[in-house]
Amino acid sequence: MVLELRELSVSFDIPEGEVEAVRGVSLSLAGGEILAVVGESGCGKTVMCQSVMKLLPKTAKIRGGRIIACGEDITDYTDRQMRPLRGSVFSMIFQDPMTTLNPTLPIGKRITEAILRHKKVSRDEAENRAEELLDLVGIDDPPRRMGLQPHYFSGGMRQRCILAIALAMNPKILLADEPTTSLDVTVQAHMLDLLRDVRRKTGVGILLISHDLGAVARAADRVAVKTSAGNTGGPASARGRRPKHRPGAGGHRRGRAGGLLGRLHTSADRDVVSASAKGT
Ligand SMILES: Nc1ncnc2c1ncn2[C@@H]1O[C@H](COP(=O)(O)OP(=O)(O)O)[C@@H](O)[C@H]1O
Ligand SMILES: [Mg+2]
């Protein structure tokens, strides 16, 4: 397993007291696997990702549980201990590519600088690596595109560039938080195909976070559904359950999603329902 969450709970301190954003979530992600985590808006998906990367807002605290990355228990790691792991062990991509891209900086320069910041290589080597990465994420004619600023790119192409930056250090774990939500439906499908392609070529394990089961079920090897029954307005409650393996569930992807929906429907009293789509 490249990533394991065991009964992870995270809460926020607010003036009125404490708000629980993630409650007892357990999941495991194998190398080269795409695990989709699906749940309604506000159920704690982003907070879960932020706790793995240790990028939680100052008012948030991990209240319980463990985070194990590549066999190492990083639950209590400080920012300083985390820094070398960001990019090389974990990487994250977000919903809006422009939060990561500088509008005035040409794409090639942005990727090259990201590489130079982490790796002791020459500028030429970093530029070559940046072109390789653009090629990996399906951008044609990388040498020409390198010099263009983000506004010359479509939303889908920007998200490809973000993916290129995220993959620059060959991470083991990619946290993709709503990576297709801001994209048009046809572009979404291309992005998901790209994630499958990238994991095949690089072996990265991907946690694919979305509020939209229909959008991501097709791309995932397994789907975990995170819901939060009592989460309207009041304190967040997002309860996790250990994923249950269901050997032999769904021989093909369409079947898997269908099976999952059936299960969800009958399990409305649960906060997290998890289904395995792997017949192992
Ligand atoms: N900065 C914050 N301060 C207080 N509560 C927060 C903050 N950020 C998130 N939360 C709480 O955590 C819950 C989960 O948020 P989030 O992880 O962003 O949801 P999701 O990504 O699933 O839409 C929210 O419903 C909210 O109650
Ligand atoms: Mg979110």
Domain residue limits, the chain: 1-89+207-280
Query: Comparing C-alpha atoms, which of 205, 239, 246 is closest to residue 225?
Result: 239
Best residue among 37, 46, 207 to mutate for probing ligand 1's pocket (most ligand atoms within 8 Å of CB) is 46
Whole-number CA gyration radius for the chain:
19
- Between 1.10.10, 3.40.50, 1.50.10, 2.60.40, what CATH number should domain 1-89+207-280 receive? 3.40.50
Q: How far apart, in whole angstroms, are the C-alpha atoms of residue 143 and residue 141?
A: 6
- Provide the 10 A C-beta neighbour count for residue 275: 23
Residue-level pLDDT at 227: 65
pTM score: 0.82
Q: Which pLDDT tens digit goes with each residue over 125-157?
A: 999 999 999 999 999 999 999 999 999 999 899
**Residue 43 beta carbon below 6 angstroms from any ligand 1 atom:** yes
To the nearest whole number, what is the mean pLDDT of the chain?
A: 81
Residue-level pLDDT at 248: 34
Q: Which pLDDT tens digit goes with each residue over 203-229?
A: 999 999 999 888 888 899 999 888 663
* Residue, of 280 and 80, whose pLDDT is higher: 80
Query: Comparing C-alpha atoms, which of 167, 178, 254 is closest to residue 217?
Result: 254
**Residue 62 beta carbon below 6 angstroms from any ligand 1 atom:** no
